[in-house]
Amino acid sequence: MAIEPHGPLSGVRVVEFAVAVQGPLAGGFLADMGADVIKVEPPGGDGNRWHTGVNWPLPKETPGAQFLSVSHGKRSISVDIHSDVGREVMHRLIDRTDIFLSNFREPSLERMGMGYEALSARNPRLVYAIANGFGHRGPDRDKRMTDQFAQSRSGISSVTGDPGSATVIPGAVIGDTGGAMGLALGIMTALAARELHGIGQKVQTSSYGIMVWMQAWEINHSSVTGTTLRRDGPHHPNVPGIVGLYDTADGGAFCVGINSGESWREFCDFGGIPEVGADPQWDSYDKRSPTTNFAHAETANELRPHVARAMRNRTSAEWEQFFDAHQEDIMYQRVLDYDDVLHDPQALENGYIVEKDVPGVGKRPMVGNPMQFNKTPAVAQPWYSALGQHTAEIMGELGFSADEIATIEAQKSPGQPMSRRGRERAR
């Protein structure tokens, strides 16, 4: 029997009460999977709507890129949850939903009547999913966090950048985005458990926890060897040898790894360092990129400046042509910037970049969804909701009267986003 081409989570309802990236991006992923995600916003809207970032000369009605990146494909309801009608809206939503998703701190949720005990009492099958900064136990369980602070605590800055240089962090919010994927994975696991065992439950994760988990190899290596890894510039700190990033003559860069001896010698000849290719101390792959015999590690690392010199002797186009002709023996990838990624044929073909209709701007290439299913295809949702756009629709579905809907609609006040202090309390 053929399966209808709806997303794998078609029929699942999610109530998202979240701000910033970690929580809303998890909700955006679930929306791409076909879930009906209802984003609950205060009357002034999620402050993320108005967070523009640098160089944002766009129309006033265009939400910030952070909001656009996490809030696609969701219905928006705007209510004051501190009012009697607002609380009733939340209660009816919870009674009819599968998943409650938040990244507000638990004490804040409990004060608002949306703690786990209160909501699970109303709906025992509810998957109650919550993410925070540093974990839900321990002395820092309620400590405020944004992405860079989770990154800083996770150890990733200690292995990022050049030796002896100023401490740096990665240039993307990988703590928040990793936390979002971890939260979504936890939600999916809890949904499966509910189908198998008939029970709802609380799911907890954190940006810090996910950042530690993402570095399991590096952190565990430090544990079992007693050797703490340190930053190694354009190379992985736990991978000796030549694999790494190298600049070209015209300002481009490639990640390069060379397998066979023949290709190694041809690389050296092409890059103008034939004497290095003929040197017996590097005449085998294990001597150039040791993976088992680490007695060669120091000698292998001495190759790096020679490879860097060779790469700088040719342009990016010349190296691309050379690598294409040797791709069976040489692993390589040109280093792209974000403009390159937006137009990368591989990203477009796989739906990693898709066209979306951005309010006030029109159609633009935007990040899609990395998951693919052959019978229940996931679709990167191309649309965005205005603040409270679906308030009346959702309240009608919940059985509210026209007068009650009018009362809630009157509370909306676009342009009055949640205060900075309110956003901080969430984290």
The DSSP output letter for 294 is G
CA distances from residue 174 to 67, 147, 201, 238 in whole angstroms, order as listed: 16, 7, 27, 20
pLDDT for 33-80, tens place per residue?
Answer: 999 999 999 998 988 888 888 888 888 889 999 999 999 999 999 999
Give the torsion through C-alpha atoms of 372, 343, 29, 152, to 10 deg. 120
CA distance 426 to 23: 10
Is the torsion defined by CA of 77, 100, 48, 366 positive or negative? negative
pLDDT exceeds 80 at position 326? yes
Write down the pLDDT at residue 239: 94
- Read off the pLDDT band of 407 (50, 70, 90): confident
Write down the pLDDT at residue 206: 97
DSSP-based three-state secondary structure for 195: helix
pLDDT exceeds 50 at position 250? yes
Q: What is the pTM of this model?
A: 0.92
Question: Any idea how long the chain is?
Answer: 427
Write down the pLDDT at residue 412: 66
The string of DSSP codes covering 204-269 is: EEEHHHHHHHHTHHHHHHHHHHS------TTS-TT--SS-EEEE-TTS-EEEEEE-SHHHHHHHHH
Residue in 303, 310, 263 with CA at minimum distance from that of residue 282: 303
pLDDT for 335-373, tens place per residue?
Answer: 999 999 999 999 999 999 999 999 999 999 999 999 999
Compute the chain's Rg from CA coordinates.
26
Q: Which one has a higher pLDDT value, 150 or 295?
A: 150
Lowest mean pLDDT among 188-202, 324-338, 370-384: 370-384
Of all residues in the chain, what percent carry a pLDDT higher than 70?
95
Write down the pLDDT at residue 423: 43
Give the domains, in start order, of the chain with CATH numbers.
13-214+342-426 (3.40.50.10540), 253-334 (no CATH)
- Read off the pLDDT band of 308 (50, 70, 90): very high
pLDDT exceeds 80 at position 426? no
Residue the block writes with tokens 């696609």: 72
pLDDT for 190-244, tens place per residue?
Answer: 999 999 999 999 999 999 999 999 999 999 999 999 999 999 999 999 999 999 9
pLDDT exceeds 50 at position 17? yes
Write down the pLDDT at residue 419: 42
- Read off the pLDDT band of 413 (50, 70, 90): low
CA distance 44 to 378: 31
pLDDT exceeds 90 at position 247? yes
Write down the pLDDT at residue 409: 83
pLDDT for 111-132, tens place per residue?
Answer: 999 999 999 999 999 999 999 9
Lowest mean pLDDT among 107-116, 133-142, 220-229, 292-301: 292-301
Query: Strand ranges (DSSP E) for 67-146?
Result: 75-78, 99-102, 127-132
